[in-house]
Structure 1
Amino acid sequence: MKPLKITINGQKFTAELYDNEAAQKFMQLLPLSLTMKELNSNEKYCYLDTALPTNAQKPGKINAGDIMLFGNDCLVVFYKSFNTSYSYTRIGRIENTEHLAKAAGSSSAKIEFSL
């Protein structure tokens, strides 16, 4: 896994990218600064300009800190854990999620990704 720096509304987090094709292509887009929209009081999402390779699976449970791809171009950062029936491609995972929900807030968030 590769280390990734994430800043959410000014608060810094560290994540690791998984060793898969989608994560490798995502790394090629970095650095990225995105305004990610709020959805369901548990995630932030943004449609990318570039489609990424997919290997979608139904995880059953989403964990706070999961960074996933929905479809081939929708980047999702989850800040709360919950059960799901949707399919996602795993990109990475934020390591310390203690203050993640507070940083994400309840509306759109500015999220920066860099190596």
Structure 2
Amino acid sequence: MLKKAAKVLLIICVLLLNGCQTSTNQQNNGDSNNEVQESSVKESEETKTMTTIKLQFDNREIVVELDDNSATRDLVSRLPLDVQFEDFNGTEKICYLDEDLDTSDVSTSCLPVQGTLAYYIPWGNICFFYQDFQE
């Protein structure tokens, strides 16, 4: 029952990220303060404009590419941010923002895998998955 409820809730989450690469092969599973910085990248005329942000965990950084939608634009407008991530369910790190993100034009389905950065609408938290979500 709990797995089914979790699956239904995850279907509601908003995928902000379509790709992720780490600058190191190590993943940090401990709590830490994280500073997020912004930069923009235009891939080519045939592909959509992507926004990249850098997550800094202690001495490591992770660069993520965000889809172009209202939640991404709202998040980027708030950068830089210092947020406290906490472990959740042994698969992801989560943090809460002071105010909910604008989700007026976002997809409402997501099956997160390692490296996914998402915004979970029901709780209003940002999730970074360091493990694949198991159904």
Equivalent in the alignment of 2:61: 12
1:65 to 80, 93, 115: 115
- Structure 2: runs of 5+ lacking an equivalent: 1-49
- Structure 1: runs of 5+ lacking an equivalent: 85-115
Cα drift, residue 29 of structure 1: 0.8
Equivalent in the alignment of 2:23: none
CA contact (8 A) 1:26 1:52 kept: yes
Equivalent in the alignment of 2:72: 23
CA RMSD of aligned residues (A): 1.6
Aligned-pair identity (%): 28
**Superposed CA offset, 1:51-99 (max 9, x none):** 112235232x311111111126211111111245xxxxxxxxxxxxxxx
TM-score, L = length of structure 2 = 0.56
Q: SS where residue 82 of structure 1 aligns?
A: coil
Higher strand fraction: Structure 1 or Structure 2?
1
CA contact (8 A) 1:62 1:83 kept: no
Bigger-Rg structure (1/2)? 2
Q: Moved runs in structure 1, 4+ residues, more than 6 A? A: none
CA distance in 2, matches of 1:64, 1:35: 20
Q: How does 1:38-57 map to 2 (within 5 A)?
A: 38-54=87-103, 55=106, 57=108
Cα drift, residue 19 of structure 1: 0.5
CA distance in 2, matches of 1:20, 1:56: 9
Tell me if 1:82 matches 2:133: yes
Provide the aligned length of Structure 1 versus Structure 2. 83
